[in-house]
Amino acid sequence: MAQQKIEIDVSDADGYQVLRPDGDLDVYTVGSLRDAIGAIVESDNPSVVVDLDSVPFMDSSGLGALMGGVRRLREAGGDLAIACTREQHLKLFTITGFGEGVSIAPTVDEAAKGFKQTNA
């Protein structure tokens, strides 16, 4: 299975980082997201909002990487929240049950408020 790179913009926000993948998140590209989350797990402030606005398609591999990220970041004392307005992704979170217990909001700021409360 040939791995492909996906562009992921990493930026600092108020006490957390924001990951903005640009492109499909599937079995071919998910390694990039996993690596980016791994770097945040190793950082001093392991909290991140993943903005899915520029991800037109996400399959179970992409969802798995996000959920794996939630678990690893929480174990490291941080959290992962998701900023998403795409119906298709939101439906996937709902169907699988992964939407429960994870902060999912239309904007990065709102999503971040969710995990800050979780941390508190």
Partner 1 sequence: MSLRLKIVGGFGLMLALLVLLGWVTLSLFTSARTVQEDVFDEAIPGLVTVDEIVRAYTAQSAAVRGSLIGSGPILLAQYRSEVDTARFWEERAQDLFTSEDERALLDDLVEAGHSFQELVDQQVIPLSDRGQRIQAIRVLGQDGTTLISEIERLGNLLRDAQREVVIQAETDVRSNTNRTIVTLATVLLGAFALAIFLTVYLPGRLVGNLQKLVEAARAIGRGDFDQKIQVSSSDEVGELATRMGEMQQGLKRLQQLALHDRELEIAASIQRNLLQRNLPEVTGARLVPLQRQANLVGGDWYDVAVEAGAMNVALGDASGKGIGAALMATVALSALRGERSRGGGPKQVIASTNQALLDATDADSFTTLIYASLELATGEVRWMNMGHHAPFLIRAGTADDPTPRGYYLEGPRNRALGWFEDPGLAEAMIRLAPGDRLVLFTDGFLEAKSTQGEVFGDHRMAEALVRLASLDPGPLGEELVADVERFAAGKLDDDLTMLVMEYRGSATLGDDAEDRSGEESWHSRR
Q: Does 86 bind partner 1 (CB under 8 A)?
A: no
Find out whether 20 and 2 touch, Cβ atoms under 8 Å: no
- Indicate the residue among 27 and 105 with the shorter CB distance to partner 1: 27
Q: Does 84 bind partner 1 (CB under 8 A)?
A: no
Distance CA 78, CA 92 (A): 24
Residues with Cβ within 8 Å of 64's Cβ and at least 6 positions away in sequence, in order, are 30
Q: Does 71 bind partner 1 (CB under 8 A)?
A: yes
Q: Does 65 bind partner 1 (CB under 8 A)?
A: yes
Q: Which amino acid is at 87?
A: E
Q: Which residues of 45-63 are buried (b: 16+ CB within 10 A; e: fewer)?
A: ebbbbbbbbebeebeebbb
Q: Does 95 bind partner 1 (CB under 8 A)?
A: yes
CB of 20 to partner 1, least distance (A): 19
Which residues lie near partner 1 (CB under 8 A)? 1, 24, 26-27, 34, 56-57, 59-61, 63-65, 67-68, 70-72, 88, 94-98, 100
